[in-house]
Structure 1
């Protein structure tokens, strides 16, 4: 499946589509429509291994109608979080590579602001937010880039219905990828730690979502399945991160609700707790610690030794601590 751009003759429909927000998405009705999107060729992806800049974080829809995703395999880090109704959303963080397109893009949550504090003034691309959350986003130490602010960076795909068809052109927000040095999240990469136990499959369940990670020696990664179906991106390739972290955290009620009255859970990513690291066909029981929001997250063995991740993409799945 490919993501097709709407033709220039359909720009009026495009603007209307960008203006509409899904009620269960942000609870604020409609957003300001962006200007019509040019149909000029998209710039090619760029790479930078040495420059230090600011990462791009993109909120990604994960409803069944939003799959397959676009540009997800190119992310350095993918966070999985629980949202209203026990569903899930993704946040993809890009530093090494900027893909041509990413999406579908959806709305921000309060938890995102705390999570992103460990990155140095990141750019956050999102479709919108509940109106009571907008002042918090405006005050957060990040560069907010929703469609009403950067309309030329977004487009509507013609292969699925709104709201699951809003996509981002990352190169319209930043000229080059900032490079791995922008990943100020405290993650370490290197040889596998001692110990661990052979483990080829693990499932994390939310009330209305399920993620299974299965080790693939041929791809040297963990094949992702969502709600029982293998995850592939729109280029036809499977999603197979080199490292999966299941981070057990406190999930509490926030002051925000969707239009149905479902509370938006707040995921506490500052503090400490248990985690499970999957890499190289093994599972490691570890501890995590993040003393304050501006700190990165440390993962250590029971005796305090740092845990290195395998080189490649990392998925961090936030699971409710028991």
Structure 2
């Protein structure tokens, strides 16, 4: 017997209800498999335990089940060959690599959920730093000092300035290392010096354990900043991480572990010659971090091509696909590469 139109509508509605109830039942039994918005809704009505707190800058479970009530802390770390191996990069939540003068790069190493007993070598700030860091609220910044325009830019941005000239007791010199590549600090020392009352920052990325949307396999990405910083990231299925090298040389830390990341985010940015000149006569570059540009997100052995967008410096940079959908990162440590737009991204499968 054929159904009337009204009967068909009723049957379709009943089917939807049955499927919805089945989905709710499944997610009630396996709540960890539910999408984040479903987990949130279920916890609100008592069908699931609320998810454990996660670190705002990694999306991973907070240590000891609690997010530390402290602001983000950024420390400038050198990346000249003479500065390697560095210390403390493996304890960071987010690391930005920025071009500076003479073809070299430096790191803005951002901590929040974890501590590092030794970080360095610490070097001077650049005007790029406050442009990056205003996204994190009012973070603490540790660095070896800087030229007057840099210090003024950091202060204007509202960062909590704990550079070497202000918080000298938070820094030490390692006499076994040649100067100036021998200045070190610790996260606890800088947070203590700052006496900050700000709480944890808001997230600057979105996270999803699964890759959503169009992507393609990627095994290696090459970012040739310069001969000093000829960066390679290689996906390791065994480690479940991107491993970093300079040319053919693995980038290792003081304890011999190789630098790694769950996500490598490449922002192609406009770079112009700035008015600040270093002691060798090299002009410090000015990096443009508002507007939009091409972006590549590398996670889980895959590459997602899209763009970055940021209307104003006080806004958080967003990463979207060509279709305009936000790109979610894998929970874990993220390295953001501020690559000049004149340099191509070389990815291999």
What TM-score do you get using the length of structure 1 for normalisation? 0.81
Bigger RCO (CA 8 Å, 6+ sep): 1
CA contact (8 A) 1:244 1:314 kept: yes
Q: Distance in 1 between matches of 2:179 and 2:197?
A: 31
Q: Hey, what does 1:201 align to over in structure 2? A: 220
SS at match of 2:261: coil
- Greater alpha carbon shift after TM alignment, 168-177 vs 254-263: 168-177
Shift of 1:150: 1.0
Indicate the structure with greater helix content.
2
Q: Distance in 2 between matches of 1:50 and 1:178?
A: 15
SS at match of 2:284: strand
- Indicate whether 1:77 and 2:89 are aligned: no
**CA shift in 2, pair 1:300/1:254, >3 Å:** same
**CA shift in 2, pair 1:251/1:313, >3 Å:** same
Q: Hey, what does 1:271 align to over in structure 2? A: 291
Shift of 1:93: 0.4
Q: Hey, what does 2:46 align to over in structure 1? A: none
Divergent runs of 4+, >6 A: 176-180
Q: Which of the numbers 175, 178, 183 marks the counterpart of 1:166?
A: 183
**CA shift in 2, pair 1:96/1:87, >3 Å:** same
CA contact (8 A) 2:261 2:333 kept: yes
Task: Choose 1 or 2 for highest CA Rg.
Answer: 2
What TM-score do you get using the length of structure 2 for normalisation? 0.75
Q: Hey, what does 2:118 align to over in structure 1? A: 101
Shift of 1:180: 10
How many residues are treated as equivalent by the alignment? 277
Q: Distance in 1 between matches of 2:155 and 2:214?
A: 45
Gaps of 5+ in 2: 1-62, 343-349
Q: Give the alignment of 1:1-322 within 5 angstroms.
A: 49-174=66-191, 181-208=200-227, 209-322=229-342
> RMSD in angstroms over aligned alpha carbons?
2.2
SS at match of 2:148: coil
Q: Distance in 1 between matches of 2:256 and 2:206?
A: 29
**CA shift in 2, pair 1:52/1:192, >3 Å:** farther
Superposed CA deviations along residues 145-197 of structure 1, whole A, max 9, x for unmatched, are 11221122111123311111110121112259999952542444442123211
Gaps of 5+ in 1: 1-45
